[in-house]
Amino acid sequence: MRRGITDAQESNAEIVILQMDTPGGLDTAMRDIIQSIIASPVPVITYVAPSGARAASAGTYILYASHIAAMAPATTLGAATPVRIGGGMPERPKSPFPTRTPDKQEGKEGGDQEQDTESSDSAPSGDAMEKKIINDAAAYIRGLAQMRGRNAEWAEQAVRQAASLSSEEALELNVVDLVANDTQDLLAQIDGQTLNILGQDRTLRTAHLTRIVVEPDWRNRLLSVITDPNILPILMTLGVFGLIYEMLNPGFVLPGVLGAICLLLALYASQVLPVNYAGMALIIVGLAFMLGEAFMPSFGVLGIGGAVAFVIGSIILIDTDLEGYGVSIPFVIALGITNALLLAGIVALAMRARNKPVVTGNEEMIGSIGEVLGGGDSTSRIRIHSEDWQVRSATPLESGQIVRVKDIDGLTLIVEPINETGGSEP
């Protein structure tokens, strides 16, 4: 959004239209977007569209902050109560002592009049931290409403009571400025309106504008895929599998590189998403159990237990019930079964490669058979694997004699004769 406003300013655009359909988002991202809108020298029109779309939670704040707030028919906004994700703080116990108000009444029969401030209807429910969050959010959206001349009372209700409105009701209550059937209708309705942009009045001329549609770039699309709650377990699985294969078969390099990249991407996604670390631990334990089944066959106990732990960990991995952060249970179950089969296959391939005879290096040379090219003493030369090598033997060697390599000393092979008269190998 910030890049889009900057590009619009550099290209001398008349307006920026933000077409929005969102269940909400993080408070920090919302405030960054709102600050960009308020500081924009180009008018920003937020348009909740198409029909059936919504501007829930953080979307309501963005709608209030825009220079012009518009909605398509059959759209909604509201439910702007902030919700903590990733686990909350435990509720503080109430004090056993009564809380007195500053203006206590004295001198009346029965002693001082005491009042529990937590019984006030205007105070939000919950612990002290929750009250701070809700009060801050209510003051924030009320300030946005006053700045744009919109209904501040309903804005506070959207925060404190999670109130929602349809597009027609929002127009009637002065929550939004207009209802438009499509973008062309929107441009026609705002043509000729005068807005105050950074302290200066500006009349819009939008009837015959050329529209340029700006879609999310590849970076935003990539990040949206990585931070999908269903993708996070896949990244963790690929990362662990890659590192396991690299450790079992050193020198292959590619699995280790891809595994490290996937694990780093998973760590990035876990930083953005409200991750439950117990779920992450269960995923890691499940992968370890499935790996143990490949090395220590337990008639399926470790493998099945690992698959179950992986599925449960994936289900509870995202610690919130907020819409848009859910994990598909059928997908997770299928992924757990696939992981068990895939891990068994990877370990089997790695162990098979590990048990193959060595075909290169010094280890391969030990035990190889060669033919003596020239003899007469204990040092000579032999031909082995189509190469000529200098050799040393405890006994004199004869030309044509067949010898076996016992050891390697630098570039000299230490050999022993197989037969004493030469000829073919017995």
- Candidates 425, 426, 403; CA nearest to 416 is 403
CA 122 remoteness from chain centre? 38
Q: What are phi and psi of 371, to 5 degrees?
A: -120, 135
d(CA 372, CA 268): 63
Residue with tokens 């703080």: 89
Q: What angle do CA 219, 223, 225 make, to 5 degrees?
A: 120
Going by their DSSP bridges, the two strands 194-197 and 178-179 should be labelled as unpaired
Of these residues, 57, 66, 314, 380, which one is catalytic?
57
Residues in contact with 49: Cβ distance below 8 Å, sequence separation at least 6, in sequence order: 19, 20, 21, 71, 72, 75, 180, 182, 183
CB-based contact 393:415 (threshold 8 Å)? yes
The number of C-alpha atoms within 13 Å of 272 and in the hemisphere containing its C-beta is 16
The span from the CA of 274 to the CA of 270, in Å, is 7
Residue 415 bridge partners (DSSP) = 393, 405
Active site residue 380: no
Distance of CA 360 to the CA centre of its chain: 43
- The three-class DSSP label of residue 167 is helix
Active-site residue (options: 51, 104, 120, 132): 132
- 132 catalytic? Reply is yes
Q: How far apart are the first and last CA of the chain?
A: 81
User: How many other C-beta atoms are found inside a 10 Å radius of the C-beta of residue 278?
Assistant: 13
Contacts of 339 (CB under 8 A, 6+ apart): 237, 286, 287, 290, 307, 310
Catalytic residues: 57, 132
